[in-house]
């Protein structure tokens, strides 16, 4: 795995040393609402299943120090012949949200998956009521495929709908800089 850089962010393959910071990010209520149990999720992020790749989203600090890990992003691959595609998931620390980081990280990873790895279709599946995420994914060119009813059990134990979105090669839109 390699570093993927662009639009002011750097995606560095995650390792065990990222566990504490990932946990800190995933335990923030604004993130945990959508990602679920921070212990489990941090563990999976630093020890991903073999078809999953996990990256720390790094941002160079303005005073030249850092870089700071401001979020995490993952991609998984379905390699079933004739159905190949890759999925994405992301979390940005609340202190760093709304500064263009989520859009930049998704853009550079999607660009890499299309241009370097030759994928033709990417998917993402936010909770249907995750308005910030759905709004961002639309801006990047993802389209709604449809509602997946009673898709996921959330931290409060209630099963809620998910929204399947997809993006084909040639549809990716560069996010505006913030
Ligand atoms: C969704 C998420 C990754 C977006 O990251 P981010 O760094 O804030 O994204 P950006 O700054 O690039 O967002 C740009 C666009 O996203 C949407 N957006 C982001 N935060 C939003 C909010 N709080 N309310 C409404 N729209 C929002 C807007 O369309 C925004 O465009 P604008 O700033 O021009 O209005 C981030 O909010 C997050 O980590 N949320 C918690 C975890 C999560 O929901 N992950 C997704 C699971 S599928």
Residue-wise pLDDT for 118-174, tens only, equals: 999 999 999 999 999 999 999 999 999 999 999 999 888 899 999 999 999 999 999
Indicate whether this model's pTM tops 0.75: yes
What is the CATH class of 4-121? Answer: alpha beta
CA atoms within 13 A on the CB side of 71: 28
5 has a pLDDT exceeding 80: yes
Nearest CA to ligand 1 atom 5: 102
**φ/ψ (deg, to 5) at 70:** -105, -5
User: 126: Cβ below 6 Å to ligand 1?
Assistant: yes
Return mean pLDDT, the chain: 96
Average pLDDT over residues 77-96: 97
Domain spans in the chain, listed from the N-terminal domain onward: 4-121
CA torsion angle for 117, 134, 54, 156 (degrees, to 10)?
A: -150
Q: How far is the CA of 94 from the centre of ligand 1 (A)?
A: 10
- pLDDT tier, 61 (very low <50, low <70, confident <90, very high otherwise): confident
Q: Measuring from atom 24 of ligand 1, which residue has the nearest CA?
A: 132
Estimate the share of the chain in helix, then strand, then coil, as percent rounded to the nearest 5. Answer: 30, 35, 35
Average pLDDT over residues 41-58: 96
The strand pair at 85-92 and 121-124 is best described as: parallel
pLDDT at 63 over 90: no
């Amino acid at each position: 795995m390699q570093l993927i850089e662009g639009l002011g962010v750097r995606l560095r393959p995650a390792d065990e040393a990222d566990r504490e910071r990932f946990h800190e990010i995933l335990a923030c209520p604004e993130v945990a609402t959508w990602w679920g149990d921070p212990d489990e999720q941090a563990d999976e992020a630093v020890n991903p299943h073999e078809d999953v790749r996990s990256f720390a989203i790094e941002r160079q600090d303005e005073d030249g120090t850092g870089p700071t890990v401001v979020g995490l992003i993952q991609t998984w691959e379905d390699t079933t012949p004739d159905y190949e595609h890759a999925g994405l998931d992301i979390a940005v620390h609340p202190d760093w949200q709304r500064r263009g980081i989520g859009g930049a990280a998704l853009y550079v990873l999607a660009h890499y998956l299309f241009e370097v790895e030759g994928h033709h279709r990417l998917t993402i599946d936010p909770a249907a009521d995750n308005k910030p995420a759905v709004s961002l994914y639309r801006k990047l060119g993802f389209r709604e495929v449809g509602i997946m009813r009673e898709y996921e059990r959330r931290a409060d134990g209630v099963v809620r709908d998910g929204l399947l979105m997809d993006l084909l090669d040639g549809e990716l839109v560069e996010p505006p800089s913030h």
